[in-house]
A and B are shown apart, each in its own frame.
Chain A
């Protein structure tokens, strides 16, 4: 990370989809998708398999032509960028290279194609820990090494926008930590990082903001804490020798109380302070009082499941979807 300077106002829109649509015959892969990705933070791009993530990324990178709408990077269509690697670094498929070529030469032709100085090749090899295998043919690389080479290629042009599809695939724990540190550091220097992943626990550690799509449509565009709070609210675990008594009291004050299999109470709608005071006032001993934060994984499952349910129920015009309250599409912050 030798060449990183703050080059941009954080919060500036750098990737934008406007009504982005892609049809393959009768199938709508991406359906009027509109979102903005801002600089200075890591934005996670999530969605179930087949949601249209890859197609969207390919349209952003000018590889697929949209059926409708447009995708802009740095205010332009990708195909109109002069030396695109200087603006956008991307990793879509780590296996997209010639197996017979040496790692150094792979980066060499990429650097030449965008008139990048040859020293960048050595720098990114160093940065990705591949200096030792620079002269090896990439066909013999492990998936993790190919992934590192793909990231080296993405960083080659010192771009202000970095777009990574499943970057931790195949990486060992040290590699996962490395890519996490890299992404947060890029964002801290004002760059834009858009990253897709299936690993929710990993996303939870890395992303500041999330864009979730399902069936080609935008489901959510909000900050990580907001998304977790709105789709998997935290609850309070209460362990007491008087569960029935305490449950009645808490329900009387608006709490929602569920029994856990081991006899404890799971309470939502009341803070731990309020529960503690109510228990004391009614003489119920409390042996444990734990605020449980929901995980991104739970929130994501709730969000995408309800989206699927919502569509299924709409399509068959059966009973109103029970989960419809959580299927609203929240707007991203506007500035």
Chain B
């Protein structure tokens, strides 16, 4: 009874056109670049400028990769917003009905949306982090503090920063699919990225597990060349656990989004 379904590549192409024909895509990317690269640049410029007078502890905490990418602590919110908007506007405007008339199989539609937004987010994130890395190293080279990609952990730290940003984008996407309202999904995304950290700290008396599960701590090991030292060291997960965190967030939020998106719109 079922004939050849709507071509999968056609659905992907359609979703790609959707993504690149709204201004919000460019606006969120512009904000991510300005904040991500800009704040990172300020950070490394400040370190390079004060290096000679810095104390030993601060010098030990310096991470040539992590500091050049520090702007994405805030820039990630713009990418999360990009993810939210990629889905929530379809529901908020009612456009989803037009989409479903063209692509009635919801599972295939959702998968195409995830792939399009995910690959796009990954590509732009990698461009951003490598761009920020090279700009940062150029500034640090004045004090001979720069590192090259061939040095231990550097390539891993830079590329995982890009993966992390793509994961935040897709967590936003999942929240958009679950909540379907732009403002609500934005608030939830913001809370997840920023407010889970103090919440987990409050539970430290019982367990460090919540600390190990929150995104800001995971990125502290993923996107740096050496793990943090001092009291913060107990909070961050191992590198392996941090990889698990990324996978967990993707599965949970995209999974819940899939469950919701395949129900009646």
Q: Which residues of A contact B (CB under 8 A)?
A: 61-65, 76, 78-85, 88, 90, 92-93, 95-102, 105, 108-110, 112-115, 153
Contact = CB atoms under 8 A, between A and B. Distances in A.
A110 B102 contact: yes
Interface stretch (B15-23, B32-40, B47-55, B199-207): B15-23
A98 B89 contact: yes
Contacts of A90: 101
B95 A98 contact: yes
A112 B14 CA distance: 5
A76, A80, A84, A96 — most chain B CB neighbours (10 Å):
A96
In this complex, the member of B5, B6, B90 whose beta carbon has the largest number of chain A beta carbons within 10 angstroms is B6
Contacts of B17: 105, 108-109, 112
Contact of A80 (B1, B10, B14, B22): B1
Contact of A96 (B1, B95, B105): B95
A101 B102 contact: no
Contact of B102 (A64, A65, A84, A98): A84
A79 B11 contact: no
* Chain A interface mostly: loop
B3 A98 contact: no
B56 interface: no
A98 B19 CA distance: 11
Nearest to B21: A105
The 9 A-B pairs at the shortest CB distance, nearest first, are namely A113-B14, A105-B21, A109-B17, A96-B94, A112-B14, A79-B104, A113-B102, A112-B13, A62-B104
B97 A109 contact: no
Contacts of A101: 18, 21-22
Given A96-B98, A105-B17, A82 B22 contact: no
Given A113-B13, A115-B7, 9 more contacts: A63-B265, A83-B7, A84-B6, A84-B101, A96-B95, A97-B98, A98-B90, A101-B18, A108-B17
A63 B24 CA distance: 28
Contacts of B24: 100
A102 B21 contact: yes
A113 B18 CA distance: 10
Contacts of B5: 82
Interface of B: 1-7, 10-11, 13-15, 17-18, 21-24, 89-90, 93-105, 264-265
Contacts of B94: 93, 95-97
A85 B101 contact: yes
B5 to A, nearest CB: 6
A96 B21 contact: no
Given A95-B94, A112-B13, A114-B6, A62 B100 contact: yes
Nearest to B98: A96
A233 B132 CA distance: 81
A192 to B, nearest CB: 16
B27 to A, nearest CB: 10
Given A80-B1, A100-B24, A113 B100 contact: no
13 contacts: A62-B104, A63-B104, A79-B105, A80-B3, A84-B102, A93-B94, A96-B97, A97-B94, A100-B22, A100-B23, A105-B17, A105-B21, A114-B10
